[in-house]
């Protein structure tokens, strides 16, 4: 039975992968969840197993009306929202030149705007409560670019920019923001959630083409365990000072450290050029 000091979570994309693992872990702990999916019948088993603490509803994050109604359902059901997890997303695989306008826009609609609409809808609730925590599931690809994932990288970099600014804006309301950056995890992401651009240009065979080959073999072989990722996410929600970024997986850590080192080296190498851009004379009055 749920006690009053358990947390209330709202998780997008609860049907598989991280969303499913996190929903299960949160329910197992005794917290309450509004579990959401485009096909909510995929969550029937959880709603039956946890009738008092789980509510399953339909939510396509690209539909703003469904976003608003998910927030209302959460408040009507459990009276508050302590943790929002913006997890719903998919990958678009193809070079920048290969991606069609529709493929690029749809990718942004889900991965970026879906999360943005959720954030905007939940903030009045969290401000009223003077508390809340938003986990935005980005990616190692939200910090470093990959050939063949440029549009996906764009959605996740944008989500990270929004998250950093948001953290500054909502800190006075006791609302915390954590960006989650997983590396390769064994979910459906590299399988049914990977959209390949329809157009393939042979000239990119050695860059994005190689990423296509890598992704063909990736499904089922990823090192990361989504259940352990879920445990890590629950940990940051329950500490007093949660990190702004939670990197998940040794592969992601190595790649992010590598980028930080190369950015620092480049800053040093170009420092004189960087600083020699101010007016040489002081303005006098
Ligand atoms: N697995 C990895 O290696 C990895 C690494 C870095 C980041 N990520 C990120 O982790 C997040 C979750 O992906 P996953 O790895 O757990 O893959 P997954 O098992 O394929 O799960 C993706 C989830 O997103 C949902 N979704 C997609 N579009 C949606 C929409 N418009 N509205 C609502 N839900 C939608 C899917 O629902 P349906 O069942 O309805 O399709 C599914 O529940 C994504 O944001 C992904 O970019 C994954």
Residue 257 lies in a domain: no
Q: How does the average pLDDT of the chain come out, rounded? A: 96
Are the CB atoms for 141 and 156 separated by under 8 Å? yes
Q: What CATH number is given to the structural domain containing 45?
A: 3.40.50.720
Please indicate whether residue 18, judged by its CB atom, sits closer than 6 Å to ligand 1: yes
Residue 271, in any domain of the structure:
no
Average the pLDDT over 271-280 and give the result. 96
Residue whose C-alpha is closest to residue 24's, from 50, 4, 3? 50
Number of domains in the chain: 1
Q: Is residue 114 part of a domain?
A: yes
Domain of 236? Answer: 8-251
275, part of any domain: no
- pLDDT of 189 higher than 50: yes
* Any domain includes 263: no
Ligand 1 centre to CA of 274 (Å) is 40
> For a substitution probing ligand 1, which of 15, 151, 189, 217 has the most ligand atoms within 8 Å of its CB?
189
Domain contains 71: yes
Assigned domain for 226 exists: yes
Whether 173 lines ligand 1, by a CB cut-off of 6 Å, is: no
Centre of ligand 1 to C-alpha 18, Å, is 7
Tens digits of residue pLDDT in 99-123: 999 999 999 999 999 999 999 999 9
Flag whether pLDDT at 54 surpasses 90. yes
Residue pLDDT, tens place only, 162-181:
999 999 999 999 999 999 99
Residue 54 lies in a domain: yes
């Amino acid at each position: 039975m749920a006690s009053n000091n358990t947390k209330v979570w709202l998780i997008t994309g609860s049907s598989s992968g991280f969303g499913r693992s996190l929903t299960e872990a949160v329910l197992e702990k005794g917290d309450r969840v509004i579990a959401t999916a485009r096909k909510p019948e995929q969550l029937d088993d959880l709603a039956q197993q946890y009738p008092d603490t789980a509510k399953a509803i339909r939510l396509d994050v690209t539909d703003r009306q469904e976003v608003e109604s998910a927030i209302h359902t959460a408040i009507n059901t459990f009276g508050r929202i302590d943790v929002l997890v913006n997890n719903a997303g998919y990958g678009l695989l193809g070079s920048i030149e290969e991606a069609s306008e529709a493929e690029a826009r749809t990718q942004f609609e889900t991965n970026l705007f879906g999360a943005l609409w959720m954030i905007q809808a939940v903030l009045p609730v969290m401000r009223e409560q003077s508390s809340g925590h938003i986990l935005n599931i980005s990616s190692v690809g939200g910090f470093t670019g990959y050939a063949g994932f440029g549009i996906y990288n764009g959605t996740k970099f944008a989500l990270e920019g929004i998250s950093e600014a948001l953290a500054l804006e909502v800190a006075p309301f006791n609302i915390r923001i954590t960006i989650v950056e997983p590396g390769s995890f064994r979910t459906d992401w590299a399988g049914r959630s990977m959209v390949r651009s329809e157009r393939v240009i042979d000239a990119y065979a050695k860059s994005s083409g190689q990423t296509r080959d890598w992704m063909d073999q990736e499904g089922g072989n990823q090192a990361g365990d989504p259940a352990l990722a879920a445990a890590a996410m629950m940990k940051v929600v329950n500490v007093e000072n949660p990190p702004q970024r939670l990197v998940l997986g040794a592969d992601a850590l190595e790649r992010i450290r590598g980028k930080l080192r190369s950015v620092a080296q480049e800053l040093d190498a170009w420092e004189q050029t960087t600083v020699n851009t101010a007016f040489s004379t002081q303005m006098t009055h």
